[in-house]
Structure 1
Amino acid sequence: MKRLIIYVLATIVMAVDAGAQTSIDQVLREVEQNNTTLVALKRRVDAETAGNKTDLFLPNPEVEFNYLFGSPSSIGNRTDISITQGFDFPTVYSRRSDISNLRNEQVLLEYKRQQKELFLHTRQVCNQVIYLNSMLKEYDERIENARRMVDLFQTKFETGEANVLDYNKARLALLDLSKKAEALQVTREEQLAELTRLNGGKEIDLQLADFPAIIIPDDFESWYAQAEQNNPVLAWLKLETEVGRQNEKLNSALALPKFQAGYMSEKVVGERFQGISVGVSVPLWESKNKVKEARALTEVSRAVEQDNQLRFYNSLKALHAKGLQLQSSLSDYQQELELCNNTTLAAKALEAGEISMIDYILELTVYYESFNNMIEIQKDLHQTQAELMQFEQ
């Protein structure tokens, strides 16, 4: 009964520890709050949004005052006052407003694009840390096993049951594992430093040593339809084509007459004239070929949009196929390694003197290489999934 209670308590503690570990989603939430690049991008969004709202209003009114001295002085002086307001054809202002709104939508999409790139990089760094944590955990076990072999052969060497060659092989195997673990630890510190940078200088303690289970969907086409809708680059290019269409309409409107209206007063000795003034500017030459240029630029934007859409489709399809292949390879490795793990049997055979030290090392080397390959594939699978995930929402 006492053992059962201890086992239950230990299980609860392990569950609490596992739940307390920082997850990738938690890291992303922290980075979203603390990343200095995102802070700067948000301020840039505010600035560009305000900038796109300029030039939407009437030009400044013009006020003119003239005071003319008469000659001879007997005729008196003359005073002129003129106030005029110029304005384009009314449709110009609605077209400019439409373009301004489209540009502001593009500003937000550009922010989302850079945010997605930042989150992708953060997720990939997290995957690297998880991979390194997993490898270091595995190397801890390998080093502990190698130390047992060194102690075993040291004892056997001292009692004359083993020669110095086997004892030296055990020591070299331990040294090799220790140095590889040290190199992994250095790389882990580098990746954690990168996480700290991404988090605005605040440290993140990512201790996860196991990748979460994931499944790459088999049906690419239905998944792609959603991913295409969530790609800010394609959405930005689609808006750029629409901006081109609105520019065509704007240039057509700018080819219409411009107007001026105002008040004018002229005063001389004994006389005063005042009234309204009206003017019109007929754009005979200034706007020539403007509409043609805008239409050509729209065609360029449409071609760029179609090209990017095709490239996006093909790149995601290749990425999806890669994910499925890695998923299949990982499943094969996991099944075979579970069935073909002979490390315990090899250790017992070595202790019993049934195999030599070199045979034992070769046996472990085969298993270790297969295990390393499995973890590499698992890491590559999650890196591939991270690239696919950025377009899921």
Structure 2
Amino acid sequence: MYKHIVFAICGCLFFINGFSQSSSIEKLLEEIEQNNTELKGYQSYINSQQLENKSINNLPDPQFSGFYLPFGKKTTGDYTEFQISQSFEYPTVYAARDKWNLSKTEQLESAFAKRRQELLLKAKNILIELAFFQKQRAIESERRTQSKRVFDQIQELFDSEQVGILDLNKAKIAWMQEQFIVEQIDSDIQIEMSKLKTLNGGNPIESISSQITLPTEIGTIENLWNDKLTSDPRFEELKANETASLLKIKLEKSKTLPNMAFGLNYQGVRGSNYSGFYGGISIPLWNSKYKVEAAEANHNYQQSNTQIITSSLHAEFQENYIRYEVMLEKYNEYKTVMGDLNSESLLFEAYKLGEYSFMEYYLELQFYRNASDKMLQMEKELHIQQAQLLKHQL
């Protein structure tokens, strides 16, 4: 009997199964995305920056100037002059700046997408933690009930003077410890729910399912990396930075062309006046100096930065993927060995039949419970590791 019990480790069937993400998680993440105050604020910031960028491309305000010269020696009447004019940059500058503004908007949107992804990953990890705690609480509640049954049984044996006070005290302590564990888990659940409420814009989440269904197989490392390259906001942000820096070069080059001004002019004295058109042109000698070179240097930096960050992210991705594969393999081995067993019930039956003393029963019980807890912890870590690998799909 003992040999059978030694190999009986509680499976509890806390396995990752299915091949698609749970719709309940998707709905919760959608709700958080809609209610999150940071994302709402960031969207307003993007709108304000878009309008500000557009305002930079406006024409300067028209200028009105006038002269009235009544003083001095003169043979004619007082001299009067009025002029209204409109200055503007070379027309190609506005087209170049408009394209640059659009690229700035893309930068803002990619930064928003990256922040959105980080917040949703944080929320998803909290949901995984909550599911873990709920599963753990169900287990510990059952253990608490069982500890109470053992304590009651030993209380009866103690009352009939079949066991001593030491066994009774040990049974009571074991029961009290299980009560404390359940209370601690309840506290942890409240903390995680509070975090989730904050991410949800202060709106409470009504219920969280303890059954999280996530795929165990996430594809080959090559396919997953290619997916990241095309859809991960971090890479989109790098591309947007490169595009903006390239358009900045074109803008600065177009600004080396002269600015112009046109208007109407009136000059007159008593009995005589002149009116006509006004035109002017600037000579771009100083204002654009070094600006093209600076823009080109920044573009070179952005290209280099893209290569460096991409290499760093690829190395991090490979490390996480290998760690996940190793963990998944170990988890599957655990699942194969422990999946169909119910060791705690078997051990309790052996204890009731008198095959174990209380201390022997308790020590064996802790061994099986530690194995069960280890498996549940591995499941949670697999979920979290997988969420990190599939972060680009959020």
Deviates more, 1:92-101 or 1:221-230: 221-230
Equivalence map 1:355-374=2 (5 Å)? 355-374=356-375
CA contact (8 A) 2:99 2:247 kept: yes
Q: Provide the C-alpha distance between the structure 1 equivalents of 2:90 and 2:106, rounded to a whole number of angstroms.
A: 26
> What is the CA–CA distance in structure 2 between the aligned matches of 1:42 and 1:267, rounded to whole Å?
56
Q: Contact 1:28–1:122 at 8 Å: present in 2 too?
A: yes
Q: What residue identity is the alignment partner of 2:91? A: P
Pick 1 or 2: higher relative contact order, CA cutoff 8 A, min separation 6: 2
CA shift for structure 1 position 120 = 0.8
Q: Distance in 1 between matches of 2:149 and 2:208?
A: 27
Q: What does residue 300 of structure 1 align with?
A: 301
Deviation at 1:122, TM superposition (A): 0.7
Single out whichever of 24-33 and 236-245 deviates more from structure 2: 24-33
TM-score (normalised: structure 2): 0.90
- Give the partner amino acid of 2:38: T
- C-alpha change, 1:259 and 1:213, in structure 2 (3 Å) is closer
- Cα distance in 2 for partners of 1:331, 1:271 equals 102
Measure how far apart 1:174 and its partner are.
1.0
Paired residues of 2:127 and 2:208 also in contact (CA < 8 A): no
Structure 1 residues 191 and 279: alpha-carbon distance in aligned structure 2, compared to 1, 3 A threshold: same
Moved more, 293-302 or 236-245: 236-245
2:209 alignment partner AA: L
Any residues of structure 2 matched to 1:159-238 within 5 Å, and which? 159-238=160-239
What secondary structure is seen at the aligned counterpart in 2 of 1:83?
A: strand
Partner Cα separation in structure 1 for residue 214 and residue 101 of structure 2: 45
1:392 deviates by 2.1
Q: How many angstroms apart in 2 are the aligned matches of 1:262 and 1:213?
A: 69
1:200, 1:117 → 2: CA distance?
Answer: 16
Partner of 2:353: 352
**Does structure 1 residue 265 correspond to structure 2 residue 299?**
no
* 1:127-162 Cα shifts (integer Å, max 9, x gaps): 111111011000011111111111111112222333
Write the deviation string for residues 4-23 of structure 1: whole angstroms up to 9, x where unpaired: xxxxxxxxxxxxxxxxx993
Q: 1:216 to 1:52 in 2, by over 3 A?
A: farther
Distance 1:102 1:213, change over 3 A: closer
For 1:28-47, what aligned pairs fall within 5 Å after superposition? 28-47=29-48
Task: Note if contact 1:22-1:206 (Cα within 8 Å) is conserved in structure 2.
Answer: no
Give, in whole Å, the separation in 2 of the partners of 1:319 and 1:216.
Answer: 14
Partners of 1:51 and 1:285 lie apart in 2 by 26
Q: Does 1:390 align with 2:387?
A: no
| Alignment-derived partner of residue 127 in structure 1 | 128
- Whole-angstrom CA distance in 2 between matches of 1:390 and 1:49: 28
Q: Which runs of 5+ in 1 are unaligned?
A: 1-20
Verify the 8 A CA contact 1:129 1:206 in the aligned structure 2: no
Paired residue secondary structure (2:55):
coil
Check the 8 A contact 1:23/1:206 in 2, yes or no: no
The answer to whether structure 1 residue 96 and structure 2 residue 79 are counterparts is no
Render the CA deviation track for 1:36-74: whole Å, top value 9, x for unaligned. Answer: 222212211211111121121322221111111154476
The letter of the residue matching 1:233 is R
Structure 2 residue 116 is the aligned partner of structure 1 residue 107: no
CA RMSD of aligned residues (A): 1.9
Q: Mean Cα displacement is larger for which, 287-296 or 202-211?
A: 202-211
Partners of 2:101 and 2:272 in 1: how far apart? 50
Do the aligned partners of 1:77 and 1:269 also contact (CA within 8 Å) in 2?
A: yes
Cα distance in 1 between the residues matched to 2:66 and 2:154: 108
Contact 1:216 1:385 in 2 (8 A): no
Which 10-residue stretch deviates more, 127-136 or 310-319?
310-319
Cα displacement (A) at 1:334: 2.2
- The AA in structure 2 aligned to 1:337 is M
Q: Is the 8 A contact 1:70 1:78 kept in 2?
A: no
| Alpha-carbon separation, structure 2, partners of 1:235 and 1:272 | 63
Q: Which runs of 4+ in 1 moved over 4 A?
A: none
Mapped to 2, the partners of 1:22 and 1:310 lie a distance apart of 34
Larger mean Cα displacement after TM superposition, 218-227 or 157-166: 157-166
Partners of 1:207 and 1:293 in 2: how far apart? 53
Measure how far apart 1:75 and its partner are: 2.1
Query: Which position in structure 2 is the counterpart of 1:12?
Result: none
**How far did residue 218 of structure 1 move?**
4.2
Deviations 1:308-333 (A, max 9, x none): 11122122222222222222222222
TM-score normalised per structure 1: 0.90
Shift of 1:192: 0.8
* Distance in 2 of aligned mates of 1:32 and 1:239: 23
2 CA distance for matches of 1:36 and 1:249? Answer: 38
In 1, Cα distance between the equivalents of 2:175 and 2:45?
55
Q: Are positions 1:326 and 2:327 aligned together? A: yes
Contact 2:131 2:209 survives alignment (8 Å): yes
Q: What residue in structure 1 maps to residue 279 of structure 2?
A: 278
Partner amino acid, structure 2, of 1:205: E
Q: Summarize the Cα distance change of 1:30–1:392 in structure 2 as closer, same or farther, 3 Å threshold.
A: closer
Residue 54 of structure 1 aligns to a residue whose secondary structure is helix
- In structure 2, relative to structure 1, the CA distance for the partners of 1:312 and 1:46 (3 Å cut) is same
The Cα of 1:336 is off from its aligned counterpart by 2.1
**CA deviation string 1:358-385 (max 9, x = no partner):** 1111111111111111111111111112
* Whole-angstrom distance in 2 between the partners of 1:22 and 1:100: 38
The equivalent of 1:6 in structure 2 is none
State the 1:340 CA deviation.
Answer: 5.3
